[in-house]
Amino acid sequence: MTPPRPGAGAARDRTEPGTGSTGLTPAGLTQGAGATKGGIGESTLRPDGVLKVTGEFAYASDLWHEDMLWGYTLRSPVAHARIVSVDTSQALATPGVYAVLTYDDLPAEAKHYGLEIRDTPVLAHGKVRHHGEPVALVAADHPETARRAAAKIQVEYEELPVITDEASATGPGAALVHEHRTDHYAGHVPHPNVLHRQPVIRGDADAAAARADAIVTGEYVFGMQDQAFLGPESGLAVPAEDGGVDLYVATQWLHSDLRQIAPVLGLPEDKVRMTLSGVGGAFGGREDLSMQIHGCLLALRTGKPVKIVYNRFESFFGHVHRHPARLWYEHGATKDGKLTHVRARIVLDGGAYASSSPAVVGNAASLGVGPYVVHDVDVEALALYTNNPPCGAMRGFGAVQACFAYEAQMDRLAAELGLDPVEFRQRNAMEQGSVMPTGQVVDAPAPVAELLRRVKARPLPPERQWETSEGPDVRALPGGLSNTTHGEGVVRGVGYAVGIKNVGFSEGFDDYSTARVRMEVIGGEPVVTVHTAMAEVGQGGVTVHAQIARTELGVTAVTIQPADTRVGSAGSTSASRQTYLTGGAVKQACEAVRERVLALGRRRFGSHHPAWATAELVLEDGKVVTDGGEALAALADVLGDEAVDVELEFRHRPTEPFDLRTGQGNGHVQYSFAAHRAVVEVDTELGLVKVIELACAQDVGKALNPLSVQGQIQGGTTQGLGIAVMEEIVVDPLTAKVRNPSFTDYLIPTILDTPTIPVDILELADHHAPYGLRGAGEAPTLSATPAVLAAIRQATGRALNRVPVRPEHLTGP
């Protein structure tokens, strides 16, 4: 039995060559066989699928190395305290312990890291700012030895009052979470405990409000959601002879990690070599560092490979969460159902460290009105520094919280006007050419009304599906196998929602991806190798890269190299951006390879056939083919012994920062839209909800792999369902301590909680994007939540201004 080795889990797609065309020479011309099999638009299967079903795929937590030690992180048991003293002597004296590290052991001048603002200490120094903050590290020969040694580290804390909400953060005399801020947001925020504030002001909301026939106002609360990826934070750091370190880790963005890791290790970036190991889901939660620096520090100190694997309890402290939020909205409309104005204030809790909060604020502010045409807007969004757990990226990224609130408002306003909620949305729906509250013109299809029409037109699931000839099937009822009802008190409700999400990194960020593509002849067959640093986290990027290479280069055999830092940055696997950006980079690199291959062909065979000079040439089925379908040469002959190899960077069109006072600016790259219809059944006596169906319609521009796109939409929908009815990290408001860091107490939907999710995919091309595609991963997470809430409101008649909805919100007076 061979234990897994570092790197063995990296996605490796060696598709067997198909029916090649060896021996074809310019003298033996045949017709081209048409588009190469396995290209874009087909539901080709995952290249790592077989490894994943046999158990051979090596995830980060599976890595193993001869002589390996186990790392362990000692974390703060309190949310806000001065560290009076740290005594590691007993821990160090424990047999089997190789190293115990604290802040004083950090080797370089840089001792902080962070995605944008480097405000996060590698290990706490003088103070802890949130429950679970790392204080010390242990390396030992067994994980239990490490855990027990860590328990012997004596840390004396002097607890400080906790800052937990806007009142305690910005009220008179509030203590500062971070003193002496020097980050580039510090200059414009109204209070040092406000991390970033972004207004979006357009038109004259006050004047518009005077024209409104109906105005609704509401306050909404959005709970703290966890990404709850199943593969815990893990990695293996191996010290190298050159004084550097090789790090195998599950992450979302290798190069962003690298830029944060190298300075605190005191190493140049080329001495920190990173390879992606198998990633068990991410959803934003791996955008920030977890064990990366800690593992490297222990490996460099001990001279031995060190593996760190969080358990689920630690995982809840090991990554940032989705920002909980309070949102105030005022919507007005005329009696013919046209929105007059929107005023909103969105307060996001960023927790103790910055993470990606500034960008989340930018999204909440700029997308806070939703996919509607509103000329007069006054929105502000801000993120607080508090002593709550740090919050950052999660699927939907700032657009999710706002969508929950503005869609509740749209329903209330429709009711106030006596209009059908879908009809009211359609009257105000954005379309191509509409102007965002930021002033940005939506210059690609925006089929908001059509998406709503499609989910509404779908037949409703039959009533009382729990009835069978053998009596009620309780599995189909609220309460399920708890057998709490046989249909008594069960009321059905139907609700609709639609949302808007940006794709790619916004606000002027230089968002690019790098791809290296190589074509050569191996064993007489043309073979393409694609090398990027894209983090495959389960989304299927590796599948799509091979499809793109087949389409562009007409070669069946495509090998996907493991992702590592030997190739340029691919950017983050987030913001629904990887198919657009790294897919775009692979496409562009393939196009460059094709040009060089054709140039080679012209040099070698151009004199044999006039079409080499006159026709549009494509690569199909291992051949060079004219646009008329005439084959000119086999790629194997064109290439001979030569390899064609191209590495290039691909960028989407540039964006601009939002104006700090008005929020005006062409801040986003692309917009993505999805709509949901939820059908729920509520046991109104017990407050139990069963979601029966959650239908989604989404425009994806072009589905490069329809099966994967459906999987993204169904998965995103289910995460939206989770925050609607069950998921919440409960933070004690008095102590700022996390009360439910386990899958026993933090519930995510099981297969019994999850309904049928029919998916209707539109493909309206965005001509700015590769193949017209539109990033697909996030939009369904937005509208699922408000659709479920609307359905529960219809069933119960209750206002329901917070998610998740709990039984006590649905029962009683």
Partner 1 sequence: MRVTFTVNGRRQEADDVWEGESLLYVLRERLGLPGSKNACEQGECGSCTVRLDGDLVCSCLVAAGQAEGRDVRTVEGLAAEDGTLSPVQRAFVDAGAVQCGFCTPGLLVAADDLLARNPSPSDGDIREALSGNLCRCTGYEKILDAVRLAAARTAGTVDA
Q: Which residues bind to partner 1, rule: CB under 8 A?
A: 1-4, 43, 45-46, 48-50, 52-59, 61-62, 64, 142, 144, 227-232, 278-283, 309, 311-312, 473, 475-476, 481, 537-540, 707-708, 710-711, 714-719, 742-744, 748, 750-752, 754, 756-757
Is 381 or 723 the residue whose CB approaches partner 1 more closely? 723
Least distance to partner 1, CB of residue 684, Å: 23
Residue 196's Cβ-side half-sphere holds a number of Cα atoms within 13 Å equal to 24
Residue corresponding to tokens 């840089």: 110
Least distance to partner 1, CB of residue 785, Å: 14
Nearest to 355, CA basis, from 309, 320, 406? 320
Least distance to partner 1, CB of residue 739, Å: 16
Query: CA 108 to CA 782: how far, in whole Å?
Result: 42
Residue corresponding to tokens 């003293």: 85
DSSP for 646-663? Answer: EEEEEEPPP--PPPTTT-
Query: CA 608 to CA 593: how far, in whole Å?
Result: 22
Least distance to partner 1, CB of residue 535, Å: 11
Give the strand pairing for 644-651 and 512-522.
Answer: antiparallel
Is 583 or 663 the residue whose CB approaches partner 1 more closely? 583
Query: CA 129 to CA 148: how far, in whole Å?
Result: 24
User: For residues 539 and 712, is the Cβ–Cβ distance under 8 A?
Assistant: yes
Least distance to partner 1, CB of residue 512, Å: 25
Element (H, E) at 43: none
Least distance to partner 1, CB of residue 420, Å: 28
Least distance to partner 1, CB of residue 793, Å: 23
Least distance to partner 1, CB of residue 708, Å: 7
Q: Distances from the Cα of 181 to the Cαs of 118, 176, 186, 194, 613, in angstroms?
A: 11, 10, 6, 11, 64
Other CB atoms within 10 A of residue 640 CB: 10
Other CB atoms within 10 A of residue 401 CB: 33
Is 461 or 657 the residue whose CB approaches partner 1 more closely? 461
Is 458 or 802 the residue whose CB approaches partner 1 more closely? 458
Nearest to 671, CA basis, from 699, 632, 646, 629? 699
Least distance to partner 1, CB of residue 1, Å: 4
User: For residues 746 and 226, is the Cβ–Cβ distance under 8 A?
Assistant: yes
Output the six-digit token pair for 568. 């340029």
Is 346 or 695 the residue whose CB approaches partner 1 more closely? 695
Least distance to partner 1, CB of residue 317, Å: 15
Give the max Cα distance, the chain. Answer: 88
How are strands ordered across the β-sheet holding 617-620? 617-620, 623-626, 631-634
Nearest to 623, CA basis, from 686, 553, 560? 553
Residue 249's Cβ-side half-sphere holds a number of Cα atoms within 13 Å equal to 34
Is 222 or 466 the residue whose CB approaches partner 1 more closely? 466
Least distance to partner 1, CB of residue 397, Å: 17
User: For residues 234 and 59, is the Cβ–Cβ distance under 8 A?
Assistant: yes
Is 232 or 437 the residue whose CB approaches partner 1 more closely? 232
Three-class DSSP category at 408: helix
Is 167 or 751 the residue whose CB approaches partner 1 more closely? 751
Least distance to partner 1, CB of residue 745, Å: 9
Least distance to partner 1, CB of residue 538, Å: 3
DSSP for 481-536? Answer: GG---SSTTEEEEEEEEEEEEEES--TT---EEEEEEEEEEETTEEEEEEE--B--
Is 121 or 540 the residue whose CB approaches partner 1 more closely? 540
Output the six-digit token pair for 138. 């242990």
Nearest to 295, CA basis, from 320, 272, 268? 272
Q: Cβ neighbours of residue 280 under 8 Å, at least 6 residues apart?
A: 59, 60, 61, 229, 230, 231, 232, 250, 538
Is 342 or 709 the residue whose CB approaches partner 1 more closely? 709
Is 195 or 694 the residue whose CB approaches partner 1 more closely? 694
Least distance to partner 1, CB of residue 635, Å: 29
Nearest to 137, CA basis, from 312, 306, 298, 245? 298
Q: Cβ neighbours of residue 766 under 8 Å, at least 6 residues apart?
A: 444, 445, 670, 701, 772, 773, 774
Least distance to partner 1, CB of residue 63, Å: 9
Least distance to partner 1, CB of residue 526, Å: 26
Is 515 or 535 the residue whose CB approaches partner 1 more closely? 535
Is 46 or 80 the residue whose CB approaches partner 1 more closely? 46
Which residues share a beta bridge with 75?
A: 134
Is 622 or 777 the residue whose CB approaches partner 1 more closely? 777
User: For residues 200 and 662, is the Cβ–Cβ distance under 8 A?
Assistant: yes
SS3 of 69-89:
EEEEEEECCCCCEEEEEEECH
Nearest to 314, CA basis, from 542, 123, 72? 72
Is 502 or 718 the residue whose CB approaches partner 1 more closely? 718
Phi first, then psi: what are they for 695, rounded to 5°? -85, 140
Is 278 or 295 the residue whose CB approaches partner 1 more closely? 278
Output the six-digit token pair for 41. 């638009």
Question: Residue type for 121, please?
Answer: P
Is 521 or 695 the residue whose CB approaches partner 1 more closely? 695
Give the strand pairing for 214-222 and 802-803.
Answer: parallel
Is 217 or 756 the residue whose CB approaches partner 1 more closely? 756
User: For residues 235 and 274, is the Cβ–Cβ distance under 8 A?
Assistant: no
* Strand spans (E) along 227-353: 234-239, 245-249, 272-276, 306-309, 321-322, 325-333, 339-349
Least distance to partner 1, CB of residue 676, Å: 12
Least distance to partner 1, CB of residue 721, Å: 8
